[in-house]
Amino acid sequence: MMKTFAVRNLKLCTKDCLCLYVCPSGATDTENSIIDISKCTGCGVCADACPSGAISMVPWFYPPQQPKKDSVCYALNALAQSKLDAEKSALQISASTDKDGLARLMKAVAKSERLIAEDIMREAGYMLPQSHNTHVLLESLIKNPPEGFPVEAAEKLLAMLPDNEL
Amino acid sequence: MRYICMICGYVYDDAKEKVPFESLPASWKCPLCGAAKSDFKPEETPVSKLSDKDNSQEVPASKMKPVSQPANANPASAPTKASTPPTAQIDTPADKDSDLKKLSPDQLSALCSNLARGCEKQYKPEEAGLFRELADYFASVTPAIDDASVENIAALLWSDIDNYSGLRAAADEASDRGAARVCVWGERVTRMLSSLVIRYLNEGEALLADTNIWVCTVCGFVFIGDEAPELCPVCKVPAWKFEKIEGGK
Q: Cβ–Cβ of A99/B190 closer than 8 Å? A: no
Phi, psi angle pair for A8, to nearest 5°: -105, 130
Least confident piece of the model among B23-27, B57-61, B115-119, B168-172 = B57-61
pLDDT in tens, B45-95: 654 444 444 444 444 444 444 444 544 444 444 444 443 333 344 444 444
Round to the nearest angstrom and report the end-to-end CA distance of chain A: 20
Q: Which residues on B lie below 8 Å from A164 (Cβ)? A: none
pLDDT at B193 over 60: yes
Q: Cβ–Cβ of A81/B104 closer than 8 Å? A: yes
Q: Which residues on A lie below 8 Å from B79 (Cβ)? A: 85-86, 89
Question: Which pairing describes strands B11-13 and B213-216: parallel, antiparallel, or unpaired?
Answer: unpaired
Cα separation, B156 vs A89, in Å, equals: 10
Q: Cβ–Cβ of B245/A107 closer than 8 Å? A: yes
CA distance B54 to chain A (A): 19
User: What mean pLDDT do residues B117-129 have?
Assistant: 92
pLDDT at B219 over 70: yes
Nearest-by-Cβ selection for A79 from B167, B173, B197: B167
In angstroms, the Cα distances linking A79 to A16, A99, B16 are 47, 29, 40
Cα separation, B188 vs B243, in Å, equals: 19
Nearest-by-Cβ selection for B91 from A75, A117, A140: A140
**Between A and B, how many CB-CB pairs are < 8 A?**
253
Neighbours of A143 (CB within 10 A): 9
Neighbours of A164 (CB within 10 A): 18
Q: Cβ–Cβ of B141/A144 closer than 8 Å? A: no
Percent of chain B predicted with pLDDT > 70: 77
Nearest-by-Cβ selection for B153 from A100, A109, A119: A109
Q: Where are the beta strands (DSSP E) in B20-105?
A: 40-42
pLDDT in tens, B238-249: 999 999 999 876
Question: For chain A, which ranges sit under pLDDT 50?
Answer: none
Percent of chain B predicted with pLDDT > 90: 67
Cα separation, B92 vs B104, in Å, equals: 10
Q: Which residues on B lie below 8 Å from A56 (Cβ)? A: none
Q: Which residues on B lie below 8 Å from A84 (Cβ)? A: 104, 106-107, 109-110, 142
Residues facing residue A57 across a β-bridge: A6
Q: Cβ–Cβ of B114/A140 closer than 8 Å? A: no
| C-alpha A152 chain-centroid distance | 20
Contacts of A71 (CB under 8 A, 6+ apart): B170, B173, B174
Choose, out of A104, A130, A136, A163, the residue to mutate when testing the contact with B (most B CBs < 10 Å): A104
Contacts of A89 (CB under 8 A, 6+ apart): B79, B145, B148, B149, B152, B153, B156
Cα separation, B137 vs B140, in Å, equals: 5
Chain B residue nearest residue A137, CA to CA: B92
Tell me what pLDDT residue B71 has: 46
Contacts of A41 (CB under 8 A, 6+ apart): A24, A25, A27
Percent of chain A predicted with pLDDT > 70: 99
CA distance B65 to chain A (A): 18
Radius of gyration of chain B measured on its C-alpha atoms: 20
pLDDT at B203 over 50: yes
Chain A residue nearest residue B91, CA to CA: A140
Task: Report the predicted TM-score, pTM, of the whole model to 2 decimal places.
Answer: 0.82
Contacts of B58 (CB under 8 A, 6+ apart): B49, B50, B168
Cα separation, B232 vs B240, in Å, equals: 10
Tell me what pLDDT residue A10 has: 86
Q: Cβ–Cβ of B94/A58 closer than 8 Å? A: no
Q: Which residues on A lie below 8 Å from B121 (Cβ)? A: none
Chain B residue nearest residue A92, CA to CA: B148
Tell me what pLDDT residue B197 has: 96
Give SS3 for B142.
Answer: coil
Q: Which residues on A lie below 8 Å from B142 (Cβ)? A: 84, 88
The angle subtended at Cα A54 by Cα A53 and Cα A55, nearest 5°, is 100
Chain B residue nearest residue A91, CA to CA: B148
The number of C-alpha atoms within 13 Å of B167 and in the hemisphere containing its C-beta is 27
Cα separation, B229 vs B18, in Å, equals: 25
Tell me what pLDDT residue B64 has: 47
